[in-house]
Amino acid sequence: MLLEVRDLHVEFRTRDGVAKAVNGVSYGVDAGETLAVLGESGSGKSVTAQAVMGILDQPPGRITGGEILFQGRDLLTLKEGERRKVRGAEMAMIFQDALSALNPVLSVGEQLGEMFVVHRGMSRKDARAKAVELMDRVRIPAAVERVGQYPHQFSGGMRQRIMIAMALALEPALIIADEPTTALDVTVQAQVMDLLAELRREYRMGLILITHDLGVVADVADRIAVMYAGRIVESAPVHDIYKAPAHPYTRGLLDSIPRLDQKGRELYAIKGLPPNLMNIPQGCAFHPRCPKARDICRTDVPEVHAVDEDRGSACHFWKECLNG
Ligand code: SF4
Ligand code: MG
């Protein structure tokens, strides 16, 4: 396993109390594999990723338990210097908002080239050639002419490609993409997603794709981990989830995707709001919103049941859910 997160716990201390953002998350991703981590905002998907990358704001955030094994080493035991080395060369992150992640006063060529100057000791001239090569690789047209341009001179989709190029530059073993296409329109979304999937195959990287949109991951993910209130409530191979979800929350997410074959059908929306992380409901955290909730759901936290050897559901009534 390239990356294995085990029983991770993260808290945020605020003036109003302690927000339990991540409450025992375990997941893994292999080289060449794509794991989609799905959930509403506040489900803990980004916070988990920030802990993996080592970019969690600490404080107010605090990792209170667990392990993050990357290529066999527990990242949480590394010194900051070593951690920085891993982060620079072995793992990279792609953010939703390329415009704020890129430096507005440096040309894209300088920013891409900088990676090679700093980490590979290349000359400016060679680094610039590398930058052009990368821009070509992520299919930015006329790379030679555009290498000197600034981020604001590119469209949203092209900027996102530049972010992908930055992430790829040092050929990391793992890329984490946090809502990489959320800010883009639908056709551009699909192109960027296809590009990511293609590069992941070619470079045999592990890819963690964080999204709130189950609709965008069907074609690119191998596995899906669905998060709710800082826990993984269902984890399964992607085709299993689409065939028959084993958790009511996953079912709700699936039923709220517009589908071409069901035009005219009314779109389902999960009722209610995600929980307050300072006051997570007793029992199953999803029970106030769950159409299948019963008494036991209000008192007993569901453990993760093995639906299959490679599939788990944290629902007392997963069997029922699986059968529709
Ligand atoms: Fe719904 Fe109960 Fe399952 Fe939670 S444990 S998802 S409340 S049926
Ligand atoms: Mg987020």
Tell how far the Cα of 179 is from the centroid of ligand 2, in angstroms: 7
Task: Delimit the domains of the chain by residue range.
Answer: 30-50+174-322, 98-171
Cα separation, 58 vs 187, whole angstroms: 38
For ligand 1, pick from 290, 299, 304, 321 the residue to mutate: most ligand atoms within 8 Å of CB: 290
- Strands of the sheet containing 3-14, edge to edge, are 17-29, 3-14, 61-70, 73-74
pLDDT digits (tens, 9 = 90+) for 193-231: 899 999 999 999 999 999 988 888 888 999 999 999 999
**How close is the Cα of 211 to the center of ligand 2, in Å?**
8
Which pLDDT band, with edges at 50, 70 and 90, does 262 fall under? Answer: low
Task: Give the predicted TM-score (pTM) of the model.
Answer: 0.93
pLDDT of residue 219: 84
Q: What is the pLDDT of residues 122-181, one digit of tens each?
A: 999 999 999 999 999 999 999 999 999 999 999 999 999 999 999 999 999 999 999 988
Q: Which CATH class is domain 30-50+174-322?
A: alpha beta
Ligand nearest to the CA of 93: 2
pLDDT over threshold 80, residue 258: no
Q: How far apart are CA 6 and CA 25, in angstroms?
A: 6
Closest ligand 1 atom to Cα of 297: 2
Percent share of the chain, pLDDT over 90: 78
Whether 192 has a pLDDT exceeding 90, the answer reads: no
Q: Which residues are CB-contacts of 202 (< 8 A; sequence separation ≥ 6)? A: none
Backbone angles phi, psi at 113, to 5 degrees: -65, -35
C-beta 301 within 6 A of ligand 1: no
